[in-house]
Chains A and B, each alone.
Chain A
Amino acid sequence: DGGITQSPKYLFRKEGQNVTLSCEQNLNHDAMYWYRQDPGQGLRLIYYSQIVNDFQKGDIAEGYSVSREKKESFPLTVTSAQKNPTAFYLCASSLEGSSYNSPLHFGNGTRLTVT
């Protein structure tokens, strides 16, 4: 079945450590996205990528980094510079840029807890 796989589902880290969240898709989609979801708030865009080897900052990119070396993969690194990293992180993909009519396909998220 085609879809988006995020791993791990739960992640626990000590403050000051960098951590990388995995996102893989087999939908052959060009565009991939990372969102952050906090209780009582709408999803906020961290980074997005339209094509391999290219990515753009979203609304809350500070303290995060990404790479897009393969079409299928879009890992997110949460660095120690991110002041409040505990959140639910969602990866998504779409056939084309989100301003068009193609829907976003989401993974099932990674819940990161930093203590």
Chain B
Amino acid sequence: KNQVEQSPQSLIILEGKNCTLQCNYTVSPFSNLRWYKQDTGRGPVSLTIMTFSENTKSNGRYTATLDADTKQSSLHITASQLSDSASYICVVSHPNQAGTALIFGKGTTLSVSS
């Protein structure tokens, strides 16, 4: 069964610290992997999209890595800020099934405290 598992479910860190969120998937075949940030009560916003041939992609203080062999991805947040408090969602895409191709993880809720 195609699944996307994220860990931890929730995380609390101090402002200024780094953190890493994990995403393991069993989706096959695989087209691309995406990370989204969702603030409370808002829609998700795209952070990165990586194809199977990409190992890492950065967006400011956010760096995503992908190991297509082990089917694992991580999102590293550097020098966290209070505004990083949000849910981070990992999404994996099937090829050739437009519209029904995206498998969403349940998200990791990050709380950054001062």
A48 touches B43 (CB 8 A): no
B68 within 8 A of A: no
Q: Considering the chains assembled together, what is the distance between the CA atoms of A41 and B106 in angstroms?
A: 5
Secondary structure of the B contact surface, majority rule:
loop
Please give the residue numbers on chain A whose beta carbons come within 8 Å of chain B beta carbons, in ascending order.
Answer: 4, 6, 31, 33, 40-45, 48-50, 56, 58-59, 90, 92, 96-101, 103-109, 111
Give the size category of B's interface with A: 20 to 34
Partner of B98, one of A41, A50, A90: A50
A109 touches B42 (CB 8 A): yes
B100 within 8 A of A: yes
Q: Considering the chains assembled together, what is the distance between the CA atoms of A19 and B113 in angstroms?
A: 39
**Residues from chain B with Cβ under 8 Å of A48 in the complex:** 99-100
Chain B's nearest CB lies how many Å from the CB of A35? 8
Tell me the chain B residues, 75-114 only, with Cβ under 8 Å from chain A. Answer: 89, 93-107
B46 touches A103 (CB 8 A): yes
Partner of B49, one of A31, A103, A105: A103
Q: Considering the chains assembled together, what is the distance between the CA atoms of A40 and B34 in angstroms?
A: 19
Q: Name the CB-closest residue of B to A104.
A: B46
B41 within 8 A of A: yes
**Residues from chain A with Cβ under 8 Å of B99 in the complex:** 31, 33, 45, 48-50, 56, 58, 97-99
B45 touches A45 (CB 8 A): no
A42 touches B105 (CB 8 A): yes
| Given known A99-B93, A99-B95, A101-B49, contact A59–B43 (CB-CB < 8 A) | no
Q: Considering the chains assembled together, what is the distance between the CA atoms of A108 and B42 in angstroms?
A: 5
**Residues from chain B with Cβ under 8 Å of A96 in the complex:** 98
Q: Considering the chains assembled together, what is the distance between the CA atoms of A23 and B32 in angstroms?
A: 26
Q: Considering the chains assembled together, what is the distance between the CA atoms of A84 and B26 in angstroms?
A: 29
